[in-house]
Amino acid sequence: MNFKLLIIILSLSSTFAYSQTNLRGTVKDEKGNLLTGVTVVLSATQGTITDAYGIYSITILQKGKYTIKTSFNGLNPQSKTINVLDQKEIVIDFMLSRSNQELNEVVITSNRMRETIDEVPSSVSVIPLKQIENLAQTSNSVADVLMEIPGMALSSNQTSSTGQTLRGRNMLILIDGIPQSTPLRSGGRDVNTIDPSSLERIEIIKGATAIYGNGADGGIVNYITKKPNTTKKFESTTSIGSEGSLVGIANTVGSKITQNFSGKLNKLGYVVSGTFRQIGVYKDANGLVISPSYGLGETSQYTLFGKANYDINEKQQIELMYNYFSSNQDSKYTPQVGVYGESPTIGILGEQIGVDQGNKYNHNAQLTYKYDAIFGKTDFRLNLYMQDFKTIYGYSDTFYDPNLGYDGGQSLIVSSKRGARFNFSSPYSFGKVEGNVLYGIDILNDKTSQDLVDGRKWTPDMKMTNFAPYAQVKTLYKNVVLKAGIRFENINIDIPNYTTITTYNLGETTPNGGGIAINGGTLDYNATTFNAGLRYNKWYFFKPFVSFSQSFSIADLGRTLRSATENTVNNINSKSVIANNYEVGFNSHIGKINLSGAYFISTSDLGSTYSETASGTFIILRQPEKVYGYELSFDTKLTRYVTFGTSISHTEGKLDSKDNGNYDTYMGGDRIPPVKLVSFLSYNWDRKFDARLSMIYSGNRDRFNAPYSYGRGPVNNFTTVNLSTNYHITPSTKLSLGIRNLLNKDYYTLTSQWNARSSNYVKANGAQFNVTLTANL
């Protein structure tokens, strides 16, 4: 405790006297044009971007030898070495030449430090702002924006993200590092918790990882919110749009308006935005209304986002971020159940039972304090964050209780998180060997419960305290990158005494289950997870890497507790899942061609796969699992203006049902998607006009015999085509048009096919349009 107090006192103290050197310069292209937004990194400790005049400035606080690295999409990176002695100022200018290796030098922060993809010995995907804007034109939610990423399953086109796995496992969703997932009671509502208009980029780290704690068995998706515009005192961006169906347009037209203000006033940078979106009725390719159950149609969405940072001095900065997102459905339709495998469930006019469903609110706030060179060359970062989340599900007669007078009910999940991260980053060098040690402590308090809207308790109020020290070492020697890390998970979960909910068959008065009094208690989870990776960057045409990583997760404790049959918590099988990810991959750049690939195997001795019982309830199979697959991506410039790209993802998974080392049972579609092929053709004409045509092919997957239960339904292939275009009417005004499902393909979503239930057998949207006018001031 004294050590923590010392850290805070040091962190919040004012700066002390020190000598410093100002490193500055300009960055230009081959034609002498000044470049805005170029990333300039000083070794692994400090970085900045060039302003509107191509100028950068970095304060160096310690003497020594430094390597300055620059990177900018479409241009070759450049590095220069300097010796800092007693100079007050050093001027270093850069001239960057044209390159086709755009993705190679994207700076990422998902591993808690600034680094390029060449320094990460694992599979990483980054969706930059421009691509987010294009993909959002043909997306119904942020979950759709993720669909083209290799290894990512297709979205469900619903509020639930169940089935949208990453490499066949659950992923940890973050907003600026704040966890959105609810691991104590996984509700499948974590992906659609933010609007794309609030995002600067999306980072996807693939494979098991424990760097951000519980729940990243398949990897991490980190939504990085927008940053202030530092080149202007004030900038205003207004977007007004409309969307709707191209098949039976009646009642389908919706609207969206986004207002954004950003700028920097002396030491204060700010960005504030608000979005309102009203979505109309969703219809399939035949013009029939899609079932409103778990639907995204007929919803009202509200977003409020703000971020402010203040430069206390050259060494210290403080930043405050807040994001609010709400999505509520008010439907005039009710489901008309079809027949699984024969006819779809559609929406017909009628009154919905119960209250509106959807994500009622998602509040995220974070205070970040940065202190560069807090001692020696060590940087310190303190993150204090919170998340409050509430989501409501649809009405179901499953909750029928004649003795209490309930014909059914609706469940809801409420989750509240409070957390702190103490992060230190210390660079080191020994001759030609340099690197960085990242270390610190994560503290998290999570309170989660699942109740019914009428007040009945479905799960107890679970309270989790997580204390996790960690360390991560990165070593750079010539063309070799070596990374290794360790994390110590210490989790304590308090569970009060509770009684499981009593269940009845509809119309009957005798209970068929539940009503069991459970003595509460404390569950302790302690685990040590490791990671190690090696990357070799000598050859531009072939940069291989190999890695091993582990993750830690609690296998949906709430679902286990709500159907408990033991009379004490300590007798419940609630052991955690440790996933082991083995991966080998490469990146290649040959002329105008970019090629990357990876093969992975992910194993766990205890699984977390859902299985449906004969009574229709779910249990979690605690059997050994093995998930494996590969990913390949390719892109090249065909001409100066035209780029072509394609990728393929294949994932498969099996269970060891007898725990004898023989993986004899395939995993269901809620975990394992069919093969996915994505291709695109883009045209970009001198920043005046651009267009992107993309195709997504989803293959067949038929692993089980009839009669089909949850997750075991056969999946048939389908192909969809999307089109997005942007035309700059003036330098500050842009007109955008997106068409989703351009060819009006008639097909069933992946979720509806593997779900194997008539009530969930729904079709995908038919052709939709989205037109937006954006103006900058």
Question: What does the pLDDT look like over 267-284, one tens digit per residue?
Answer: 899 999 999 999 999 999
State the CATH number of the domain containing residue 77.
2.60.40.1120
Q: Maximum Cα–Cα distance for the chain, whole Å? A: 86
- Residue whose token pair is 């990460």: 120
Region 93-97 average pLDDT: 87
**What was the pLDDT predicted at 211?**
85
Question: What does the pLDDT look like over 730-763, one tens digit per residue?
Answer: 888 999 999 999 999 999 999 999 999 999 999 9
Looking at per-residue confidence, does 569 or 90 come out higher?
A: 90
Looking at per-residue confidence, does 617 or 708 come out higher?
A: 708
**What was the pLDDT predicted at 87?**
83
Q: Answer yes or no: is 8 within a domain.
A: no
Are 493 and 626 in a shared domain?
A: yes
Boundary-marking domain end, from 45, 80, 99? 99
Structure tokens at 331: 């439907």
Structure tokens at 670: 């809620």
Boundary-marking domain end, from 99, 120, 137? 99
Q: For residue 306, which phi and psi values (nearest 5 degrees)?
A: -150, 145
Pick from 694, 732, 699: which is nearest to 714 by CA?
Answer: 699
- DSSP string over 91-115: E--EEEPB-S--GGG-EE-TTSS-E
Q: Which range has the top average pLDDT, 47-51, 78-82, 190-194?
A: 190-194
Task: Decide: 499 and 515 in contact? Cβ < 8 Å.
Answer: yes
Q: Answer yes or no: is 714 within a domain.
A: yes
Using the 8-state DSSP alphabet, how is residue 193 labeled? S
Q: Residue 5 pLDDT more than 60?
A: no
Q: For residue 508, which phi and psi values (nearest 5 degrees)?
A: -100, 160
**What was the pLDDT predicted at 103?**
42
Helical segments of 281-433, H only: none
Q: Residue 13 pLDDT more than 60?
A: no
Q: Answer yes or no: is 253 within a domain.
A: yes
Secondary structure of 745-768 in HEC code, one letter for each residue = CCCECHHHHHHCCHHHCCECCCCE
Q: Answer yes or no: is 26 within a domain.
A: yes
Q: Answer yes or no: is 262 within a domain.
A: yes
**What was the pLDDT predicted at 62?**
77
Pick from 731, 721, 715, 722: which is nearest to 668 by CA?
Answer: 715
Q: Residue 617 pLDDT more than 90?
A: no
pTM: 0.87
Task: Decide: 264 and 228 in contact? Cβ < 8 Å.
Answer: yes
Are 84 and 225 in a shared domain?
A: no
Instruction: Give residue 680's identity as a one-letter amino acid code.
Output: F
Region 289-298 average pLDDT: 93
Are 236 and 93 in a shared domain?
A: no
Pick from 594, 474, 643: which is nearest to 125 by CA?
Answer: 594
Are 226 and 95 in a shared domain?
A: no
Are 547 and 696 in a shared domain?
A: yes
- Residue whose token pair is 């190999």: 546
Q: Residue 11 pLDDT more than 70?
A: no
Q: How sure is the predictor about 4, in pLDDT bands with cuts at 50, 70 and 90?
A: very low
Q: Residue 383 pLDDT more than 60?
A: yes
Q: Answer yes or no: is 212 within a domain.
A: no
- Residue whose token pair is 């959002």: 136
Q: Residue 557 pLDDT more than 70?
A: yes
Q: How sure is the predictor about 619, in pLDDT bands with cuts at 50, 70 and 90?
A: low
Q: Residue 377 pLDDT more than 60?
A: yes
Q: How many CB atoms lie within 10 A of CB 452?
A: 19
Q: How many CB atoms lie within 10 A of CB 400?
A: 17
Question: What does the pLDDT look like over 350-373, one tens digit per residue?
Answer: 988 889 999 999 999 999 999 999
Q: Give CA separation, 704 vs 669, 713, 714, 756, in Å.
A: 10, 7, 7, 11
Q: Answer yes or no: is 115 within a domain.
A: no
Q: Residue 9 pLDDT more than 50?
A: no
State the CATH number of the domain containing residue 478.
2.40.170.20
Are 94 and 239 in a shared domain?
A: no
Q: Residue 41 pLDDT more than 80?
A: yes
Q: How sure is the predictor about 583, in pLDDT bands with cuts at 50, 70 and 90?
A: very high
Residue 699: partners with Cβ closer than 8 Å, 6 or more residues away: 674, 675, 676, 677, 717
Residue 31: partners with Cβ closer than 8 Å, 6 or more residues away: none
Q: Residue 462 pLDDT more than 90?
A: yes
Q: What is the CA radius of gyration of the chain?
A: 26
CA 135, chain centre distance (Å)? 15
**What was the pLDDT predicted at 616?**
55
Q: Are strands 625-637 and 642-655 parallel, antiparallel or unpaired?
A: antiparallel
Q: How sure is the predictor about 98, in pLDDT bands with cuts at 50, 70 and 90?
A: low
Q: Which range has the top average pLDDT, 200-204, 435-439, 644-648?
A: 644-648
Q: How many CB atoms lie within 10 A of CB 664?
A: 10
Strands, E, within 87-234: which ranges? 89-91, 94-96, 107-108, 115-116, 124-127, 171-175, 178-179, 199-206, 219-225
Boundary-marking domain end, from 99, 120, 136? 99
* Count: domains in the chain: 2
Domain around 86 = 20-99
Q: How far apart are CA 280 and CA 298, in angstroms?
A: 5
Q: Residue 263 pLDDT more than 50?
A: yes
Q: Residue 687 pLDDT more than 80?
A: no
Share of the chain above pLDDT 70, in %: 93
Residue 568: partners with Cβ closer than 8 Å, 6 or more residues away: 518, 519, 521
**What was the pLDDT predicted at 254?**
95
Name the average pLDDT for the chain: 89
Q: Answer yes or no: is 715 within a domain.
A: yes
Kindly report each contact of residues 397-406 with a partner whose C-beta sits within 8 Å and lies 24 or more positions away, as own/partner: 397/506, 398/503, 399/452, 399/456, 399/501, 400/504, 400/505, 400/506, 400/507, 401/456, 401/502, 401/504, 402/504, 402/508, 402/509, 403/502, 403/509, 404/456, 406/454, 406/456
